[in-house]
Amino acid sequence: MDDNDIFSDLNNQQVAAVKCSTGNKLILAGAGSGKTRVLTCRVAELINKYEVKPSNILALTFTNKASNEMKQRLEKLLRISSQGLWFGTFHGICRRLLKIHWREAGINEYFTILDSQDQLRIIKRIIKSKNLDENLYDPKALQSFINTQKDKGKRYGNISNDDDKYKEIYKDYDEACRQTNSVDFADLILLTFEMLKGNPQVLEYYNKRFKNILVDEFQDTNTLQFNLLKLLNGSDGSLYAVGDDDQSIYGWRGARSKNIKFFEDEFRNVEIFKLEQNYRSTNQILSVANSLISNNKERLGKNLWTDSQKGDPVYLYEAYNGDDESNFIIEKIQEHVSRGGKRSDIALLYRSNFLSRRLEEELNSRSIPYRIFGGFRFFERAEIKDVIAYLRISVNTSDDSAFERTVNNPPRGLGEKTIQVIRDYAKKNSLSMWDAINQIEKTDVTGTRSLNALNNYMTIVNEIVKNINTLDLKRLIEKTIALSTLTEYYNSKKNEEALSKQENLEELLSTAERFYQNNIDSDDVLSEFLDNAALEAGEFQSKTHEDPVQLMTIHSAKGLEFPIVFLTGMDEGIFPNENRNLNKDFLEEERRLCYVAITRAMQTLYITHTNMRYMHGNNNFLIPSRFISEIDDDLLESIKINNDRSIQSKYTDNHQFDDYSQDTDVDHFSQEDNSVYIKVGQRVRHMKFGNGVILSYTGKGDSLKLQINFESYGRKWLVLSYAQLDFNV
């Protein structure tokens, strides 16, 4: 094929990256810069110019979709079959190598691959065999622990952990896999690494065969994948790594963003190319993205630009509360549709799942079709269904499905065998499962341990029943969550998923409060709430042909693009998330996440934040995310709240606003004989907690308390007279 055909649509930076000599190359490819085309053209260049056989090229991606797209493009470009190409995901290529070298890997030729659920079942069996409490040794936490260690290249014999039981379970798990000729996803890569390292002849063969290795999304590689690439590349290979350090957002699942920075140190004679021309977004959107990400210090640096028009301004909307925020967004959606635009052009992005709830409510109320991309609707989420099930069994003890969902959730030591005994007994005697356990207790069918667990469960449900007629809806749900110990269960896990579940449970309280206020005259608010939850959960998501609005977390949005994007919930404490450890590395990853959100927008971008949001069971005064203040002011067009909207008048029952108005700063106070002026949004420093921002205050004189959001410690209430705060920050 003629070079002109290959390079006809490439810009100068892309041509330079494609036509470069062999050797180790790092391609810093910005968002929307055409990296897939560059990768494909590079493979074509290797085949055409350097006469490399397709079977001698190894291309690694993170998704089968990306791999297939490269194959299809290459077939079209070179008019050759993709047969013989070693293109695939890390896991797919490692499986292929293990199928060839199973003897060297010390595994059975006909090994099976365990999925996540298979892995979890094995871990549960091991926990049970050791008579361990699942509340102390949570199966999912152990699963995460094992996978994390494998991603770091560590077997149970070379890890240090305070709890030796974790190592024991890891060992037993590995032995169980060997006995059943099984490997899990993490093992596919670790076994391949160990096989190559332990067999110099095999490694030498692949070092010679794969003189050219290409990697997509290099910023998402973990420690083990990085070391595998070093091993395969050898001392004189050519590794062509394409990635964007500004889009490294998966640190919580093992990705090591610093791998890009380590590239120059770990590989010889590295040449770096930058792809900075963007083909997706307007100049205005890119300027906002560049302005934000420039605040990250741990980056190699690049600046996105485009030949396209300046485009619409990037709008910043200051809402007075969550209701106002969602109303504004829906009104803008309706305006777009009224002008002939498609709803599917629009994406609503948020940092945390719980933020979708208020948007869903408003979309449902206006009969606007929508889809949750890469997730579930609010009332379809497991933790929400758990709480709803506790309420259902309390209202109707004959509800067997609610019984089965709650009786061992969180785990109380009840096995499936015990539950099956209850199920069979109920069926035989034409009883509900709830009624059955009363009789089973008398006949001692299930054993002492199980009976104690069942008695504990019955006590919880009976306590909820007692509160149904005495507590309002919000407080009833709050009580139910507390009695069920679901919060404690999630707290014990301390992972990203658990934090998201806790946030959703808190949002359920907000949802209940709004529902109560809207149905205050109802004779049975609880029943109506449960019916509403069932109806919403039962409604299928809108289909593509219905032209739905797209809702998703920012993590789910990576790799996608939309003409119009609403980046919602840009409040300090929500984004960056206050529930995480706000150290420097985390803040930089959160900033990269925000950068990813901004660069999803093609034509129009709205950024929204609120002065007030109902969170943690209370109305909370909020300030804009620090990320907004990091964007140059002249790049944002502000849309302010209406002057006649008063937060104080809308929330007069909230003690946080008893002593001040939204329009008035705190009066001056004396601290150690020095006059200081305090206002919401003011930055302060504490000797122990470091830098923070004042969110609200309550009290007077010596009893004055400040609510401060600290960068490293989250929200804390401090008494001003004792806090010894530094206001000169």
Which residues form the catalytic set? 35-36, 216-217, 247, 600
**Separation of alpha carbons 53 and 36, rounded Å:** 21
The amino acid present at 530, given as its one-letter code, is L
Query: Rounded distance, CA 628 to CA 576, Å?
Result: 11
Q: What angle do CA 582, 158, 259 make, to 5 degrees?
A: 45
Q: What is the phi/psi pair of residue 619, to 5°? A: -75, 120
Residues 358, 325 contacting (CB under 8 angstroms)? yes
Q: 422 with 437: CB under 8 angstroms? A: yes
Torsion 253-256-260-266 (CA) sign: negative
Token pair belonging to 362: 């408003």
The residue to which tokens 């003897």 are assigned? 103
Q: Which of 37, 32, 108 is nearest to 74 (CA)?
A: 37
End-to-end CA distance of the chain: 63
Cα-Cα-Cα-Cα dihedral sign, residues 147, 153, 159, 161: negative
Answer for the pair 162, 67: CB distance below 8 angstroms, yes or no.
Answer: no
Which two structure tokens, joined as six digits, stand for 486? Answer: 């679901």
The length of the chain is 729
Q: Which of 584, 607, 586, 582 lies closest to 597, judged by CA?
A: 607
- Tell me how crowded residue 356 is: count the other CB atoms within 10 A of its CB: 26
Which residue matches tokens 């190359």? 25
Return the residue matching tokens 């622990």: 145
Identity of the amino acid at 43? V
Rounded CA gap, 605 and 594, in Å? Answer: 13
The C-alpha atoms of residue 187 and residue 191 are separated, in whole angstroms, by: 6
Tell how many helices (H) and how many strands (E) occur in the chain. Answer: 30, 23
Question: In this structure, how many other beta carbons lie within 10 angstroms of the beta carbon of residue 214?
Answer: 25
CB 258 within 8 A of CB 15: no
State how far the Cα of 529 lies from the Cα of 349, in Å rounded to an integer: 27
